[in-house]
């Protein structure tokens, strides 16, 4: 065990590309740099991003690759390996975001240099990186290599952690249950009057706002949620004073748009598209919705919790750990329309309920998921790796 002075973050994609993994890589890097840790991010060069820049004290180095798909990944893996060897004196630990080909490069380099390495696993049960890797020969070979090389694997929720821990085929993997963090200073609740103003600024009346933020992909089950939402309005004699706001884009965008039009709920469902600044939406929202059939630990959910929103989520992945039933939200079987409807009706029946639950969400976010707390624990993991 030894004090950590420098960290190399290795990520196949990074800012200005922003997804869940990229956001965590950026926020963790900023938090470490704020503590006086030297942080270098090594990533692929994309679009018109400069080869070198500094973001909030974090040095970013972008490697140029060739081709696309597998060729691109192989080139980046090879270049990353030699970069890690050449610059081994400049970092104490390498932290890889996602267990893709760069994680192989980092693990191999660690065997040569003796440097510590940790790898963050992505995805929820069924779409996690281990499950996906098991479906291909190269993926299975990669897992065998991890068992041999021994990088510390950071698992974002108990569902995946317990599966890997209890499955004999993965007995050689070094597992560590960890979690994503959220900047609870940046994401914070609004006062009652500020929330009303936030709703008005987005063009909503003082209705109860249900909000989804994320990639519109099949496993998120947003189209199915819209269908259930429409059923609730059909069943209620007095139309509820509530709106569903969907922020994001993805392969399901057109199917969701068609469902909204075909079901005649365009007046109660707003498709906001992708947005760079999410704080106005979290501020206006009362309930954050996460109907995924599989999930790791949603960054958007944590941001909504930090902003004081109640949570309505599928009973899967990290949501089962972050949401206490009846305390800061409502959990449901993501494939049960009856359970989803019961949650919606429960949360719309008493306008004070989302407010009280949102206060508990904020409390849980600060006490368990604050970036300050997560960073402190991550440094201990680095030291023990």
**Which helix (H) or strand (E) is 287 found in, with range?**
strand 287-290
Domains of the chain: 6-181+370-384 (3.40.50.2000), 192-369 (3.40.50.2000)
- From first to last of its 385 residues, the chain has per-residue pLDDT tens of 478 999 999 999 999 888 888 999 999 999 999 999 999 999 999 888 999 999 999 999 999 998 778 889 999 999 999 999 999 999 999 999 999 999 999 999 999 999 999 999 987 777 778 888 889 998 999 999 999 999 999 999 898 999 999 999 899 899 999 999 999 999 999 999 999 999 999 999 889 999 999 999 999 999 999 999 999 999 988 889 999 999 999 999 999 999 999 999 999 999 999 998 999 999 999 999 999 998 989 999 999 999 999 999 999 999 999 999 999 999 999 999 999 999 999 999 998 999 999 999 999 999 999 999 999 999 999 998 7
CA quadruple 112, 123, 300, 363: dihedral positive or negative? negative
**pLDDT score of 293:** 93
What does R_g of the chain's alpha carbons equal in angstroms?
Answer: 22
Instruction: Report d(CA 29, CA 186) in Å as an integer.
Output: 16
- Residue 299's Cα: distance from chain center in Å? 4
Cα dihedral 356→361→362→364 (10° resolution): 130
Tens of pLDDT, residue by residue over 299-357, are 999 999 999 999 999 999 999 999 999 999 999 999 999 999 999 999 999 989 999 99
**pLDDT score of 227:** 97
Token representation of residue 33? 């740099």
Token representation of residue 187? 């994401």
Asked, as a colleague might, if the bond just before 16 is cis with ω within 30 of 0, I would say yes
One DSSP character per residue, 219-246 reads: GG-HHHHHHHHHHHHHH-SSPPSEEEEE
Token pair 């707003």 in the structure block, residue = 270
Buried b / exposed e along 122-142 (16+ C-beta atoms within 10 A): bbbbebbbbbebeeeeebeeb
Instruction: Report d(CA 355, CA 358) in Å as an integer.
Output: 5
**pLDDT score of 164:** 92
In Å, how far are 10, 22, 51, 153, 231 from 357, measured between CA atoms? 37, 29, 45, 33, 25
Tens of pLDDT, residue by residue over 107-126, are 999 999 999 999 999 877 77
Token pair 């990520």 in the structure block, residue = 11
């Amino acid at each position: 065990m030894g004090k950590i002075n420098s960290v190399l973050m290795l990520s196949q994609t990074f800012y200005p590309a922003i997804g869940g993994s990229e956001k965590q890589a950026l926020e963790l890097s900023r938090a470490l740099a704020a503590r006086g840790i030297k942080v270098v991010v090594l990533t692929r060069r994309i679009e018109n991003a400069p080869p070198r820049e500094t973001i909030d004290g974090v040095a970013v180095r972008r490697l140029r690759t060739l081709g696309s798909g597998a060729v691109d990944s192989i080139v980046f893996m090879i270049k990353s390996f030699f970069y890690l060897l050449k610059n081994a004196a400049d970092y104490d630990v390498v932290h890889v975001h996602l267990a893709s080909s760069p994680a192989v490069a980092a693990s191999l380099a660690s065997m040569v240099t003796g440097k510590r390495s940790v790898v963050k696993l992505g995805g929820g049960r069924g779409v996690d990186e281990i499950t996906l890797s098991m479906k291909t020969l190269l993926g299975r070979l990669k897992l065998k290599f991890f068992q041999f090389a021994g990088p510390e694997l950071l698992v974002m929720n108990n569902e995946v952690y317990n599966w890997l821990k209890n499955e004999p085929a993965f007995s050689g993997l070094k597992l560590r249950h960890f979690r994503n963090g959220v900047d609870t200073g940046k994401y914070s609740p609004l006062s009652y009057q500020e929330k009303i103003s936030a709703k008005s600024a987005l063009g909503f009346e003082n209705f109860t706002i249900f909000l989804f933020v994320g990639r519109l992909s099949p496993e998120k089950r947003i189209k199915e949620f819209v269908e259930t939402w429409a059923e609730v309005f059909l069943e209620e004699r007095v139309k509820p004073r509530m709106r569903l706001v969907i922020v994001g884009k993805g392969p399901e965008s057109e199917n969701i748009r068609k469902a909204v039009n075909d079901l005649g709920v365009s007046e109660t469902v707003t498709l906001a598209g992708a947005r760079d600044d999410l704080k106005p939406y979290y501020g206006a929202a009362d309930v954050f919705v996460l109907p995924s059939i599989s999930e790791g630990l949603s960054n958007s959910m944590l941001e909504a919790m930090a902003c004081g929103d109640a949570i309505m989520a599928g009973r899967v992945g990290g949501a089962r750990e972050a949401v206490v039933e009846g305390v800061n939200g409502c959990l449901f079987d993501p494939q049960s329309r009856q359970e989803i409807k019961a949650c919606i009706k429960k949360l719309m029946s008493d306008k004070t309920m989302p407010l009280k639950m949102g206060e508990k969400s904020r409390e849980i976010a600060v006490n368990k998921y604050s970036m300050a707390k997560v960073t402190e624990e991550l440094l201990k993991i680095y030291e023990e790796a």
